[in-house]
Every structure is written in C-alpha cells, then in structure tokens.
Amino acid sequence: MKRVIMGTETAALAAVLARVQVVAAYPITPQTVTVEELSDYIGKGELDAAYITVESEHSAMAACVGASATGSRTFTATSSQGLALMHEMLHHAAGGRLPIVMLNANRALSPPWNLYCDHTDSLSQRDTGWIQYYCCDVQDVMDSTFIAYRVAEKVMLPVMINLDGFYLTHTSEVIDVPDQEEVDRYLPPYDPADKVDVDNPSTYGCVCGADLFSSLKYRRQMETLAVEQAWQEASDEFAAQFGRSHAPVQGHNLDDAEVVIVTIGTAGGAAQLAADALREEGVAAGSLNLAMVRPFPYESFRRAVSGAKHLVVLDRDVSFGAEGIVAQEVKSCLYGKSSAQVHCYIAGVGGMDITEEILADMARESLGGQKQGLELGDSIWIKVLP
C-alpha cells in the first residue's frame, strides 16, 4: 500500500509491522513522534505489546535489556543526549547478545544546544558493539527495520537504525507499506534458544574470569565481523520478496568511477545528483552510500571503490583532535589495500544543509579545482568563519 508518511511515523509503523512485544522509550526531539505513535498503537490495542514508561534513556535501555533477555522482541528509540545517557547500557545490550532494535534520530550533542542533524551522537557509540545502519530515505526506514530484526535475531546482536534528525525524521515521502502477512513471512517470531526462564534458572551477564573472558570477546568479534555477510543475505532475501535492496554498501555509478563521493545518511541522495552532474562535465564520478558503519563492511567497501583514485568523504561529525570519523574509518579500511587518496570534508554539522553543489565542489577540489573550505589538520571544513 502506498502512503505519504514521515520518517518518525514510519519507524513506529515498522515496529508495529515487526510485531514488537516490548517498547521502553523516553521521548526526545526529533524522535518524539515515534514514541508517541507507539504508545498510541499500544494504548489503542493495535499493537499487542508492553509499553514500559521510564524516567530516562538509561532506564529505557535497561528495561529493553531485561525484556529482550526474556525472549521478547524489543524496540526503543532515542536521539543525541539520550543516546549518550544510554552509553553504559548499550555495552550491556551488545555484550549480553540481545537483539534489540533502536531508532536513533541523529542530532548534535550540546553544548551549545542544537537540535539538528549531526552524526557525532551515534558515531561516538561505534565501540559499544551495536550494528549501526544509516537510512538514506523514508522507505529505507521501513525496510531496514525488518532487515534489522532478521539480522539481529540471527546473529544475536542489537541494531541501531539511524535517521538524520529533521532531514529524515520530519520529512514525509511516498513509500510502500508492506502487508502484515508479507512482513510476517519475512520476519518469523523471535524464539531464542536461551531466555530468562524461572523453571530453568541461569544468571544472565554473569561473572566471567580471565580464563574465558578473552575467548568470549573473540567469539563476539568473530560473529560481529560476520554481520556484513548476514546483512547482505538478509537484504538479498528482502529484495527477492519486496523488490528493494538495502545492502551495507550502496553504490551509484561506481564501475568506472575515479572519484567517489562517500556519505552516510540522507546526503546519499545529493551525492548521487552531484556525481551525475560531474559525469555531465566529463568527470568519471560515482557515489557510495555507506549504510553500515558497524561492523564496517570491509569486503563490500573495498570491492566497491577498487578502481577509484579519489574518495571524497563527507563527515557530519568530528573526532576532536583527529579528523572526521567516517574518513578515519575509510582510511582504516583501505590502508595497505588501495592507493586512492581520501579527502575528508567536515560539513553539515548541527543542521547545515548539504546540497548537490557543495558535494560536487568537494569532488572538483579533490581533482585540483578551486579550494572550498578551510584546511585544519587532515580535514577540510566547509562554511566556517575564517
């Protein structure tokens, strides 16, 4: 069924179609609509789930951890400061191997206060062990939620679905809303081998000595690295059923591209248009939407940019004292594997619009064109005061 629907509403509707059983969330701009919609769905009996009201995001995730451990399909949503407050519990969810799915509306971290899009919130949670997926449009929000549960419950790891604050959370688009039967066919009920059971008592998150600790971490790393493949398969299966693909790496005109614009989130659309405009100028340009940041899709990424000479990486974030976080990730992926030059652009933080023209200019600059911004360390900052 086609529907005009906003990003945050879509996230709630996707959770309903995924038949989540427990929701514990705390509202925060720009995620609020998702939480309101879900409480409505549950309150009206349209979703058979428990809604746990909490006093903070730390408690929200703690409640999700407990709920998921009982074998319930669990959902939450947050943003920015809320995500930061969850930090400790994020480790607990991933270390506990609990397949929770969470929406994060990407928003700047204060101070100074700013409610708009910025990726520092989720990227600074890279090392918590969560699978991180960044949506490029509203359809992606709907579809990736189903894929997320399918992958999470297979590999027993939580997934963070990231939506650019306002650009995606508050944009309405025409999307295809699948039937419940179709979703049920793709996403069977969650039935884990181990779950909290009073008749079979066990301690979850028990103490572990040094003798087994590193082995458990090793196994988790092994199974986290395998997520790239698992997600790709789940995406392929989704494509076979629904005709839409949501792979970890989504390329546009990459086959012969010498310059590739790398983005995460909604800038992927502008990057495609920028690449197309550059093609018209005779530049062999392509764009790459890096949908999955954790685990980093090493294989797909290296394969996708194997012919490129320049990678123009947009970072809507910064790791202070280093450079843009995505650029760091890209460099780490390509080190010793590619001779391509990686150009790090820090732009669009705190809600500054990233247009097709800005991205095209970055690509032109990387090929020797006019200087666009201010160089600082290994990054170039766009639209900052001199």
Partner 1 sequence: MAKKQIDSVMQLPVMPLTIEDMTWNKTGTWRLLTPVQQDKTAPCRAACPLGQPDPQMIHQLALGDPAAGLALLMAYNPMPGVTGRLCYHPCQAKCLRKELDQGIAIQSLEKSASEADGAPVLERQADTGKLVAVCGSGPAGLAAAYFLGLAGNSVTVLEPGRTAGGFLTQAKAGQLPPEVLAKEVERLAQVAGVQIKTQAAPNFLAGMDLVLVDESAYAPDSAEAKAVLALVKGGPEPLVLSAEGGFKASQVAHALALGRETANQAQAALGLTAIFAQPELGPVATAEDLSLGFFAPAEASEQAREEAARCLSCGTCNLCQQCALSCPDACCNLDEAGGTIEIDLYHCKGCGICSYECPRGALVMENMP
Which residues of the chain form contacts with partner 1 (CB under 8 A)? Answer: 95-98, 156, 193-194, 202-206, 208, 212, 215-216, 218-219, 222-223
Q: Report the nearest approach of partner 1 to the CB of residue 193 (Å).
A: 8
For partner 1, which is the closer residue by CB, 23 or 94? 94
Task: State the DSSP string of 334-386.
Answer: HTTT---EEEEEE--GGG----HHHHHHHHHHHTT----SEEETTEEESS---
For partner 1, which is the closer residue by CB, 195 or 309? 195
- C-beta separation of 308 from 260 below 8 A: yes
Q: How far apart are CA 133 and CA 148, in angstroms?
A: 9
Q: Report the nearest approach of partner 1 to the CB of residue 222 (Å).
A: 7
Give Cα 174 to chain centroid, integer Å: 21
Tokens of 104: 């994060």
Place of tokens 């793709």: 186
Q: Report the nearest approach of partner 1 to the CB of residue 230 (Å).
A: 14
- C-beta separation of 15 from 9 below 8 A: no
Q: Report the nearest approach of partner 1 to the CB of residue 234 (Å).
A: 18
For partner 1, which is the closer residue by CB, 155 or 362? 155
For partner 1, which is the closer residue by CB, 4 or 218? 218
For partner 1, which is the closer residue by CB, 206 or 385? 206
Q: Report the nearest approach of partner 1 to the CB of residue 211 (Å).
A: 9
Q: How far apart are CA 107 and CA 47, in angstroms?
A: 28
Q: Report the nearest approach of partner 1 to the CB of residue 90 (Å).
A: 16
Closest by CA to 100, choosing from 76, 78, 122, is 76
For partner 1, which is the closer residue by CB, 188 or 205? 205
Q: Report the nearest approach of partner 1 to the CB of residue 94 (Å).
A: 11
Would you give the end-to-end CA distance of the chain in angstroms?
A: 50
For partner 1, which is the closer residue by CB, 156 or 352? 156
Q: How far apart are CA 326 and CA 332, in angstroms?
A: 10
Whole-angstrom CA distances from 367 to 133, 180, 271 are 30, 49, 16
Q: Report the nearest approach of partner 1 to the CB of residue 169 (Å).
A: 33
Q: Report the nearest approach of partner 1 to the CB of residue 297 (Å).
A: 22
For partner 1, which is the closer residue by CB, 66 or 373? 66
- C-beta separation of 56 from 84 below 8 A: no
Q: Which residues contact 50 (CB under 8 A, 6 or more apart)?
A: 21, 22, 23, 42, 67, 72
Q: How far apart are CA 133 and CA 123, in angstroms?
A: 11
For partner 1, which is the closer residue by CB, 62 or 293? 62
